[in-house]
Structure 1
Amino acid sequence: MRKWYQAFMHASRAHARWELETSLVILRDRKKLLILLLMSLPILLPAMAHAASSLPGFIGSKASFGPSFFSPQTFYGSIAIGVCAGLITGCIGAGGGFVITPALMSMGVKGILAVGTDMFHIFAKSIMGTTVHKKLGNVHVGLAIAFLAGSGIGVTGGGIINRALYNHNPVLSDFVISSIYVVMLGFLGFYALGDYMKNRKNLNNAQGDAHGGASDLTPLAKKLQSVKLAPMITFDQDVVPGGRKISGVFVAVCGSIVGFTAAILGVGGGFLTFPMFVYGLGVSSFTTVGTDILQIIFTAGYGAIAQYAVYGYVFYTLAMGMLLGSLLGIQIGAITTKVVPAVKISGFYAIAILAGFVNRLFALPEKMSKMGYIHLDAAVGKMINSVGVVVFFGLIAIFAIWIIGTFIRNIPKLRAEAAAAAAEEN
């Protein structure tokens, strides 16, 4: 179990590095910044919602835009969410994507819109930072094709299920999305917290291969690689003489799981790709990182556009607000890691995940009451939900304040380190 937790952390750090580089590309390009600012004008959403009243449902009718209440405060809130998610991604390397959907739902955005909006936000960021995709040179073509084939199936299935649930009963849709988050974040959060409490003195000395990950094949990887099921894919020739082989069927299955999860929850799916590849299939983490970046672009793009946007389930203005906020947050978070001990980062990882867990857990009683599953006074259900919202935003706000405060206090030290690095280069 600890190996899987380490895999989650390695995957998160790789994803955080990619997001940081993508953000830097956008920030350094004035044209891209101008386009982003124009797309983020909050006046666009009301105009789109009004015009949509005469459009067919397939391209976003009034009914599609109706589930979410929009106001300038909602837009500003999306920027704040983006800042916090960026801080978490930049500093911890994980949790940023996990807090976005719960945060949007806490602001009154329906679950399916929160999922679609988050996927569109991820896709927009990846497209605007395309110059960093040279890292895709690490991608093994055979593994990528098999994985993306499975991912496409998974994303399609997840999108169909989400839309069917929402069309049947919007409250049921929110309940299902919240329940999945409760299970997933509860497992990750409590394990991460327990692991941190038991091993906080040794977290700085975690071992792995040169790129982060398992140095030897796991029993599961050995077993899967021994199965000769066509088509067989040879990979990692530069790691092991003659390379290793795995059935493309197993790779496609992993892709379908990642795609389905991403489409249901509105996340990139990287937190699953890394452990599946490294510990499940025996792929080196060097190759895994490149494939993970590719699948995030494909999964988020296909899911956001084909499964959500064309049906009206993307809140474009909020997506742009989150993107604006994340560009700032991820820069501060990444820089702060230089002056924050790794043990504290691991602790805050657990707190960030558990914040999302508490938020969705406390939202369930009210939804169950509305569906008639339990008998609960409406005021009590609303109060429980409000407590979860306060705890969630309170923990995230404390984390954000701590990171920003740490960053400000260490500006002189960071400047000195930057000057010393520049002197060495010259």
Structure 2
Amino acid sequence: MAGAVEIPAAAEAIKFIAMTPKTALSLFGIGLVGGVLSGFLGSGGAFIMTPAMMSMGIPGIMAVAANITHKFGKAIMGAKKHSEFGNVDMRMGLVMFVALFAGVKVAVSMNKGVLEKMGAAGSNLYISVMFVAILTWVSWFMYRDIKRQRNGAAENASGKGSTLTEKIRNINLPPMVHFKVAGVRASLWLALLVGFATGFLAGTIGVGGFIGVPAMIYLLGIPTYVAAGTELFLAIFSGAQGAFLYALNGYVDIRITLFLYLGSLIGVNLGAIGTRVVRGSQIKLVMVSIIVMVALSRAAMVPVYLSDMGRIAMSHSMHDMVTLLSNIFLYGSGLVGVGLIMMWILQAYRRAEKQEKSEVGVSSQAAR
């Protein structure tokens, strides 16, 4: 293919898809849904977008490349919006910068190595297994936290407690850095670890925020809104580096990236507005719901990719049925997430309107 670097063992993995009107509209829709969720959660949208592109027949490594490339522009817009709301801790973002770059570099090298040795199906399998492992851990971790809070064991004002994450958060390992916007004081090494993990996952599956955001919240003690905004600020750098590295190897289809970006520009602004009217506990609930459904979607595809590699036998009918089940979980997660966000935003504005009318009525009576 013109303009692409030859990859001997995986030539089939770098074929561009036919860009029909239906494909373009689907990519725009994926970008729109992903943008709403990313603007609202600081993550979430991107880890729906990579599997959604794979379900369209785009090779996993190209889906990751398109996702991380489009994140560069989207992150600039999202970070700007969150910055206007005071949700971005620039100092934390700059502290994590070096570790973030190292994580992306390692991840891209590993993705390329898997593709060359195992082909397109092996690459898809590797990316899906990474999704399942990480999403399962994150969903269990966050569900346990939500359940503990509902049982009356919510975090106290000082952020101290007996859980493992709270013990890690309170480790006094010099040098300690004060992050003014986030209102926390944390170890530099812990911040760098979070930065590396965020970069590694961004380079591996196209999104690092669903590790970065929870890690900032639970390990560094950062408020939910600031964590979401700061992750989008970090995504500017991980997106730029990931786009550069994947483009060098011929994995970036700029057409896919542009359609994702157009949808995301609209969605990310809607999602960011939602953070101003929705409680932090609701944000966590949306994130857990989406994570669980996407994890189930990727888990369902594992036997499909093993069949494509010739490792297990699977009939065509079973192959199609499992793929359909995976898509139901995948697209259902996006619909559930965006639906909840829009419902809560409308409820918040209705409450605001009722309160405004009530205040006007009281003022009118007082004037009489």
TM-score by length of 1: 0.66
Contact 1:81–1:100 under 8 Å retained in 2: yes
**How much has 1:339 moved relative to structure 2?**
6.8
Q: Which moved more, 1:280-289 or 1:376-385?
A: 280-289
Count of paired positions? 348
**How much has 1:404 moved relative to structure 2?**
4.5
Q: 1:147 aligns with which of 81, 91, 96?
A: 96
Q: Counterpart of 2:363?
A: none
Once the two structures are superposed, residues 233-260 of structure 1 have per-residue CA deviations (whole angstroms, 9 ceiling, x without a partner) of 4522979xxx9784x6665444333221
Q: Counterpart of 1:236?
A: 178
Q: Counterpart of 1:176?
A: 126
**How much has 1:180 moved relative to structure 2?**
0.9
**How much has 1:308 moved relative to structure 2?**
1.0
- 1:258 aligned onto 2:203: no
Q: Counterpart of 1:214?
A: 159
Q: Counterpart of 1:24?
A: none
Residue 261 of structure 1 aligns with an amino acid whose one-letter code is: L
Q: Counterpart of 2:112?
A: 163
Contact 2:62–2:253 under 8 Å retained in 1: yes
Distance in 1 (alpha carbons) for counterparts of 2:77 and 2:225: 24
- 1:55 aligned onto 2:3: yes
Residue 352 of structure 1 aligns with an amino acid whose one-letter code is: I
**How much has 1:76 moved relative to structure 2?**
0.7
Distance in 2 (alpha carbons) for counterparts of 1:197 and 1:278: 16
Q: 1:70 aligns with which of 10, 13, 19?
A: 19
Give the match's secondary structure for 1:113. Answer: helix
**How much has 1:178 moved relative to structure 2?**
0.4
Distance in 2 (alpha carbons) for counterparts of 1:327 and 1:194: 33
Distance in 1 (alpha carbons) for counterparts of 2:288 and 2:186: 36
Give the match's secondary structure for 1:236. Answer: strand
Q: Which moved more, 1:78-87 or 1:322-331?
A: 322-331
Q: Which moved more, 1:144-153 or 1:361-370?
A: 144-153
- 1:121 aligned onto 2:34: no
Give the match's secondary structure for 2:311. Answer: coil
Give the CA RMSD over aligned residues. 4.3
- 1:373 aligned onto 2:311: yes
Q: Which moved more, 1:78-87 or 1:358-367?
A: 78-87
Q: 1:272 aligns with which of 208, 211, 217?
A: 211
**How much has 1:173 moved relative to structure 2?**
0.4
Q: 2:290 aligns with which of 339, 352, 368?
A: 352
Q: Counterpart of 1:4?
A: none
Contact 1:82–1:322 under 8 Å retained in 2: yes
Distance in 2 (alpha carbons) for counterparts of 1:360 and 1:112: 15
* Percent sequence identity over aligned pairs: 25
Residue 235 of structure 1 aligns with an amino acid whose one-letter code is: V
Distance in 1 (alpha carbons) for counterparts of 2:179 and 2:256: 44
Distance in 2 (alpha carbons) for counterparts of 1:54 and 1:237: 48
Contact 2:136–2:292 under 8 Å retained in 1: yes
**CA 289–362 in structure 1, closer or farther in 2 if over 3 Å, else same:** closer
Residue 314 of structure 2 aligns with an amino acid whose one-letter code is: L
Q: 1:324 aligns with which of 237, 259, 262?
A: 262
Distance in 1 (alpha carbons) for counterparts of 2:79 and 2:179: 28
Residue 162 of structure 1 aligns with an amino acid whose one-letter code is: N
Pairwise mapping of residues 9-28 of structure 1 onto structure 2 (< 5 A)? none
Distance in 1 (alpha carbons) for counterparts of 2:93 and 2:278: 36
Unaligned runs of 5+ residues in structure 1 are: 1-52, 227-232, 422-426
Contact 2:74–2:268 under 8 Å retained in 1: no
Contact 2:128–2:299 under 8 Å retained in 1: yes
Q: Counterpart of 1:82?
A: 31
- 1:303 aligned onto 2:248: no
Contact 1:138–1:289 under 8 Å retained in 2: no
Distance in 2 (alpha carbons) for counterparts of 1:277 and 1:334: 18
Residue 34 of structure 2 aligns with an amino acid whose one-letter code is: A
